[in-house]
Amino acid sequence: MRITEQSERKDNVVLSVEHVKKKIGRKWIIQDVTFDVQEGEIFGFLGPNGAGKTTTIRMLVDLIKPTSGVIKVCGFNVNRDQEKALQYIGSIVENPEVYTYLTGWENLEHFARMQPGVDRNRIQEVVDTVRMQQRIHDKVSTYSLGMRQRLGIAQALLGRPKLLILDEPTNGLDPKGIKEMREFIRRLADEGLAVFVSSHLLSEIQLLCDRVAIISRGKVLAVGKVNELVQQNAKYVVWNVAPWEKGRAVLEKQSDVEIVNHPELVLDDSIIAGMGEHALVTRMNEDRIGSLVTQLVHLGIEVSGVHNINPTLEQLFLKMTEGEIIE
Amino acid sequence: MSSLIPLVKNETIKIIKKKRFYVILLILLVLVPIFTYAQMRSAEHSREKFNGDWRLETQQQITDNENSLGSDRVPDEWKKFRKIIVQQLQYYLDHDVNPKEPNGVTFTREFMNNSVSLFIPLLIMAIASDIVSSERTTGTIKMLLTRPVKRWKVLLSKLITLIMFTSLIVLSTFVITYAISGLVFGYKGFDIPVFTGFQISGSDVDMSAVHAVPQWEYILMQSGLIWFVSLTVAILAFMVSVLVRSTAASIVVMMAALIAGSILTNMAAAWNSAKYLFMVNLQLTDYLSGTPAPIEGMNLTFSLIVLSIWAIAAIIVSFAVFTKRDILN
Amino acid sequence: MNSSNWIWRSVSIISAAATLLLIAGFVYAIQDVNYPQRAQGAGDLAESVKPPKGTSNDAIQDKKELKVAALGDSLAKGTGDSTGSGFVRRSVQEYSKDTGKKVTLLNNLGINGLTTTALLPKLEEQGTQYVLAKADVILLSIGGNDLFRGADLFTSVKNTSPNESSSSAVKKDSEVSKTSTQAKVQEIKPEDILKALPQASLKLQKILVKLREINPNAVIIYVGLYNPFGDLEQLKIPGNEAVTTWNNAALSLINKNGNMMLVPTFDLFQQNLNKYLSSDHFHPNGDGYQQIAERIVQSIR
């Protein structure tokens, strides 16, 4: 249902980033970033540390001016027409930094005074939305990280933005909090808000986002719907055979099966941990599993397990950013 | 688009809620009684010395000064000055005011005079050095600058707030000093004449324009000058606060400048171009009281121009940097 | 919410008012420093305060503690005394030694070069009146400058003086080092000394009346004049004459008032000028002052 909605609103681009480049000192931190975010979609922004994620986000909200390229929000250039463009953006850049010596309510009042059309009722509305009614009049210094995260979102929502930018929104949250946050973001998107989320928790992004952009070393490597991107990815099959050497020799001989010598580079840690000692990781089409098992058994090799690994965003990510360290 | 007033309101609330201003008031409430006590002790000391009768002491001072008026060895300029002193002392006797036992007003005046180049600027810095850099230290600057408000407006609102608090600090220093010293020395003394109009050129003092003004007028003028000095210091600290990321570093930079100023004031008479440094020009109240300026060629107009140029330059730098700079952290 | 508004309202109003006030002060200060107006002096603001009442009229001898005030010219101040004590301090010490009483010198208001004319307005001053009113004994030395300065002696003697030092002696209130070079040469006219007499003694009368008015009970001791020019041929006779006339006039004034006395010094110095005069040949030296002091003490013992 979501997908159909999205395709209907194809032209409702809230955020457009065109060939943005940024040079700091002599170094090109961002080497050409282009993507669009549409109304009602959740857009994931992935990349290892130092890839330019934060720099890009800062450019989206005019904290940093791009060296070249254009960023538009609802048609307004963020770096030229700040007052109009920023009106449509609600954001949390990195951590939700609010004034700890003020109460939550005073913080909201503070930010409300900085944008037009936000009155007391709107503040109350936002407080209700993030379910902070009970603690809103306490000093922020007494809040937990989760509370601050919610207060951060509350302030981002104050001005009824069209685009919500969240930098690592699940950072520091417990599993329950993460689940709540995910549902919350979904709900906002369903109400028509475009949400731009950056995260290093790739499984989170996969579960949450409609579309993603993968960035590495200042370049966007891929942009697309999560499903489509994942489908492009190669499939892996894990074999448990005995005797191991014999089984390996058999599999190696197959022209359409490739043995992966360093599975830790392409597979999630959790999968590798569950594999057991004598597992063989292969890259192959799952259609071939049946005939291969028959062949192995026929040769007297015992097959104790065959696992088809479901493709994930993390695998894709690892593959695309091979060798780079992810936080 | 959005008006400045809500922004100024924000900044004001932040300063108050952050208890910065209370800290300043607290410093005053702690230090002023100490100074008052010291002054009280010295008053007691001189009282003991003269059998407890200040009138006799004062009359003797008058006589001594009159004696030196008759002496040929005393230069004429000095004689004028002595005459003024005699006139002043005579006033004390006529009005039954003990010059050695200061009233709250005189104490306040002298205290403010002594605090113009270091103490009050220090209080100002407690706010000025913090007003921009603290937003950067805590990262709230990101929240502040991602609002639909132009950056120069954000900075201007901070500057306006700073000016407001500069006035408040000068006022508070006066009120607290007067209130506390008045407890000990009495609250009277607003109409005591204070002499002003000494025109100093080089080592010569021109007394032709010396005249008496009631002390309250003198304090008003003095406070006005202190306010201007404070404003300049505030704006410079503001610039440093824009340039430097940490509040502590920003305070250290300004402190170093101020202390350098007070050292230079004492020894820079030979280095003439030192007079173009802002920190040498902070003792504006000296022009009022007739204390010679540390470097030849300095007068009120000169100092005001020097301070203004520094302040304007600081404002230009602040705005240029703040509106253009990338917020990287 | 309410607290925020309250903070904002009070801070903004107070700071705006303070700013305006301080700007006003600032502008005023610039004007005052750069274009000073010769405003009214302190005296114009003055408003008289009642001087304290005089002391009780117990006889000096009965008092346990004695307060002394001195006023007048350089003799009262003690010019010429190398110890700086003058007859005032010396008599205070002597009297204290003599009687064992506590004697305090309230103030020595002696001013070099003071004449009767200059002393009169001083007696109107609050400070002077205050000191005098507190005193039990008032030591007064005045008139010498009326006689010798009024006669323009200090510009005239040099030529006729037998030695350099005696000429400089005449300019009693100037620095010794300067006088000899400064003195103008002019013929001395002894009659000038006498010319100044009547007016001066009239003023002395006023002074004494005023003193009595200020302090009805104090013993007023007037130190008589001596002739410092007794060793100058031309000035010996007219000087003696003038000083005697003056002293007589003073004595007759003093006799009319109770509780006043004149301590004569004429005879002390008459034959002892070299012994008792200081190097300026006008003021007494320490010994001379000591002699005067002893006489004063005798008179009130």
Q: How far is B177 from chain A (nearest CA, A)?
A: 29
Q: Which residue has the higher pLDDT, B2 or B292?
A: B292
Domain hosting residue B244, numbered range: 4-52+101-323
Residue A228 makes CB contacts below 8 A (sequence gap 6+) with none
- Nearest in space to B56 (alpha carbons), one of C264, A89, C105, A195: C105
Residue A269 and residue A315: Cα distance in Å, rounded?
10
Contacts of B145 in chain A (CB under 8 A): 61-63
The CATH class of A13-230 is alpha beta
Where in the sequence of chain A do the CATH 3.40.50.300 domains occur? Answer: 13-230
Measured in whole angstroms, the distance separating CA B49 from the mean position of its chain's CA atoms is 33
Q: Which of A92-101, B310-319, C114-123 has the highest mean pLDDT?
A: B310-319
Pairwise CB contact (< 8 Å): B59 & C29: no
The predicted model scores a pTM of 0.72
Closest partner CB to C22 (pick from B167, B210, B217): B167
pLDDT band at A141 (very low <50, low <70, confident <90, very high): very high
Q: Which helix (H) or strand (E) holds A128?
A: helix A120-129
Mean pLDDT value across residues C239-258: 83
Is residue B291 domain-resident?
Answer: yes
Between residues 192 and 231 of chain B, which touch chain A (CB distance below 8 Å)?
A: none
Distance from the A150 Cα atom to the nearest Cα atom in chain C, whole angstroms: 20
Determine, for residues B224 and C113 on separate chains, whether the beta-carbon distance falls below 8 Å.
no
Percent of chain A whose pLDDT exceeds 70: 91
Question: Partners for B (CB, 8 Å, 3+ pairs)?
Answer: A, C
**Which residues pair with residue A220 across a beta bridge?**
A215
Within its chain, how far is the Cα of A98 from the centroid?
24
Q: Is B80 exposed, middle or buried (0-12, 13-18, 19+ CB in 10 A)?
A: middle
Q: H helices then E strands: how many in chain B?
A: 13, 4
Q: How far apart are CA A215 and CA A210, in angstroms?
A: 17
Distance to chain B for A120, nearest Cα, Å? 14
- Residue C284 backbone phi and psi in degrees, to 5: -70, 155
Contact check, Cβ <8 Å, A120/C1? yes
- Overall domain count for chain B: 1
When mean pLDDT is compared over A107-116, A294-303, C86-95, C138-147, the highest value belongs to: A107-116
Q: How many DSSP H helices and E strands does chain C contain? A: 15, 5
pLDDT for C200 beyond 50: yes
CA separation for the pair C66, A114 (Å, rounded): 80
Predicted confidence (pLDDT) per residue in C22-80, tens digit:
999 999 998 888 877 644 443 333 333 344 444 444 566 677 788 888 888 888 888 88
* pLDDT confidence of residue A308: 79
Fold designation for A234-310: Alpha-Beta Plaits (3.30.70)
| CA of C271 vs chain B CAs: smallest distance (Å) | 31
**CB-based contact C40 B167, cutoff 8 Å:** no
Percent pLDDT > 90 in chain C is 7
Integer Cα distance of C17 and B222 in angstroms: 17
CA distances from B85 to A82, A249, B322 (A): 64, 113, 53
Which residues in chain C touch residue A120, judged by CB atoms under 8 angstroms apart?
1
Optimal mutation site among C1, C7, C8, C12, interface A, most CBs of chain A within 10 A: C1
Contact of B88 with chain C, judged by CB distance below 8 Å, is answered with yes
Neighbouring C-beta atoms of residue B16, cutoff 10 Å: 19
In this complex, is the C-beta atom of C33 within 8 Å of any C-beta atom belonging to chain B?
yes
Instruction: Find chain A residues with C-beta within 8 A of B323's C-beta.
Output: none
Q: Please indicate whether, in this complex, the C-beta atoms of B146 and A115 are within 8 angstroms of each other.
A: no
Span B271-287, average pLDDT? 85
pLDDT of res. B61: 82
Q: Tell whether B174 is within 8 A of chain C (Cβ).
A: no
User: What is the Cα–Cα distance from A62 to A78, expressed in whole angstroms?
Assistant: 6
DSSP A151: H
Is B300 close to C33, i.e. CB distance below 8 A? yes
Q: Do B149 and A84 touch (CB under 8 A)?
A: no
Q: Which chain A residues are closer than 8 Å to B328 by Cβ?
A: 24, 58, 64
Residue C156 pLDDT greater than 50, yes or no:
no
- Residue A255: how many other CB atoms lie within 10 Å: 5
The larger pLDDT score, comparing residue C236 to residue A43, is at: A43
Does B55 touch chain A if contact means CB atoms closer than 8 Å? no
The fold adopted by the segment(s) C60-300 is: Rossmann fold (3.40.50)
Task: Quick: pLDDT tens for A263-293.
Answer: 777 676 777 777 776 788 888 877 888 888 8
Residue B142 in contact with residue A93, Cβ under 8 Å?
Answer: yes
Name the B residues in 248-277 with CB < 8 Å from any C CB: none
Residues composing chain A: 327
Distances (CA, A) of C81 to B23, C66, C76, C173, C277: 61, 24, 11, 13, 9
What pLDDT, on the 0 to 100 scale, is given for residue C171?
40
| pLDDT at residue A69, rounded to an integer | 92
Within the 154-173 window of chain C, which residues sit less than 8 Å (CB to CB) from chain B? 173
